[in-house]
Amino acid sequence: MLTLVPGNTPLADLERLWREGWPARLDGAARPAVEAARARVAAAAAGRDAVYGVNTGFGKLASVKIPSEQTAELQHNLILSHCCGVGAALELPTTRLMMALKLLSLGRGASGVRWEVVAQIETMLARGVTPVIPEKGSVGASGDLAPLAHMAAVMIGAGEAEFDGRRMPGGAALEQAGIAPLTLGPKEGLALINGTQFSTALALTGLFDGWRLMQASVVTSCLSTDAIMGSTAPLQPDIHRLRGHRGQIDVAREMRALMAGSGIRESHREGDTRVQDPYCIRCQPQVLGAAVDLMRFAATTLECEANAVTDNPLVTPAGIVSGGNFHAEPVAFAADIIALALAETGAIAQRRVALMVDPTLSFDLPPFLTPEPGLNSGLMIAEVTTAALMSENKHLANPCSTDSTPTSANQEDHVSMAAHGARRLGRMVDNLAVILGVEALCAAQGVEFRAPLATSKPLQAALAALRAVSPPLKADRYLAPDIEAAATLVRTGALVRAAGLEFTL
């Protein structure tokens, strides 16, 4: 069981919850603040004054006063009317992460819900009742309304859920799990559907998987450097200290450590007629380092957002106040930044693939890295695949945050587009994993062609992990399984672990 501390839960805990399927609950110390805020909402609901979200309509209908005897019906109707999501269902681990983020937001004690609402989410997580969340329908303000409504619908016994490996009506899932449906009180429906937790969960998964690929790129670039017998002189620490960017310094340091002791590198320190390597080899610390810095910046933003209160209105010392924390612009910016980092990491890796298969540039490696070119095409089309995926990622990296369209009768006249900005990161991660997997395959061939010279011990361990799932390419064969296996090795972090790389976000 993972205990979430509202306002102070680190990304590492959220990644464990997402990857390992841990249940989660709020720290019990959060309960007094939650119940104090609830008491203030209850007092407002019993009063005569109109308070948005408590006894009024929503959005453009905020001026409509709702009688106190209809406030429960108001919240129930809100949930059902907002279940307008479309498209494929969100992956279950990401939905569970979204639910945990909603717990963190409610746990700050500014949303005005009963502790029973918190407990309902905790129990669903513990017993494996996972709402089916359509992935499309949010514009990232006023919060992720449609996706979160599908979550809330299951909490009240409506909608759809997955339980025990089967998809079923939400009410049936609750019944089979031994959970009673929740009857919502004043403001509780709005507190559940208003917020950025859908967009933030998707952005976090892009960050978590994207960081693994940044780490893998350090390993594959070192293998490629040895494959083409590149120089390690551009990794000298003085070069990177003089520029001063943390990511660049870190990448160069890790590359030096991975390549230390390479017999291939030592073999051409003297007498090499080449003066400089192409940029895709020489400038890897500068390019990947810049991407690393972007990922770290995005991580800071997303950690803050994961711990934030993003519904509306909020219960503050000044009263129940309507604001705009539901606007997901910070998440949209973070998603766009991650997309840029992923695209550029793939762009420079693809150029290294192209370098290795080209006999005019690879320093005497055979064409397309096959022992018998002509009869065999080797990794010719694997390189083309990386070019296709690189180009696709370039298009996907175009910003989403600069788009906006008015909604809800112009009441919500500027929106963030954070939801699909974050959702596209999954596709980009998949593409980049293949690019780096193919780079690993090409680099392995190249390094093995340098025998009897050998690469460094850490890189030999990485090669051994690769060769356990993809044997050397001695003659043409059906390559799709090799590419998939190499991409999986990259995406799961197995290649990085084999090399012993310790490079943290």
- pLDDT at residue 503, as a whole number: 83
- pLDDT at residue 410, as a whole number: 78
Residue 212 DSSP one-character state: H
3-state DSSP of 420-460: HHHHHHHHHHHHHHHHHHHHHHHHHHHHHHCCCCCCCHHHH
Q: From the candidates 18, 52, 163, 333, which is the catalytic residue?
A: 52
> SS3 for 94?
helix
- pLDDT at residue 69, as a whole number: 78
User: 129-148 pLDDT, tens per residue?
Assistant: 999 999 999 999 888 999 99
CA distance 11 to 81: 33
Following DSSP, what letter does each residue of 260-313 receive, concatenated? TT-HHHHHTSSS-------HHHHTHHHHHHHHHHHHHHHHHHHHHHHTS---SS
- pLDDT at residue 70, as a whole number: 84
pLDDT in tens for each of the 505 residues of the chain? 899 999 999 999 999 999 999 999 999 999 999 999 999 999 988 888 888 878 887 777 777 887 877 888 889 999 999 999 999 999 999 999 999 999 999 999 999 999 999 999 999 999 999 999 999 999 998 889 999 999 999 999 999 999 999 999 999 999 999 999 999 999 999 999 999 999 999 999 999 999 999 999 999 999 999 999 999 999 999 999 999 999 999 999 999 999 999 999 999 988 888 889 999 999 999 999 999 999 999 999 999 999 999 999 999 999 999 999 999 999 999 999 999 999 999 999 999 999 999 999 999 999 999 999 999 999 999 999 999 999 999 999 999 999 988 887 777 888 999 999 999 999 999 999 999 999 999 999 999 999 999 999 999 999 999 999 999 999 999 999 999 999 999 999 999 999 999 888 7
**Whether 105 contacts 308, CB under 8 Å:** yes
User: 419 is written with which tokens?
Assistant: 């939801």
Based on the residue annotation, tell me whether 52 is a catalytic residue of this protein.
yes
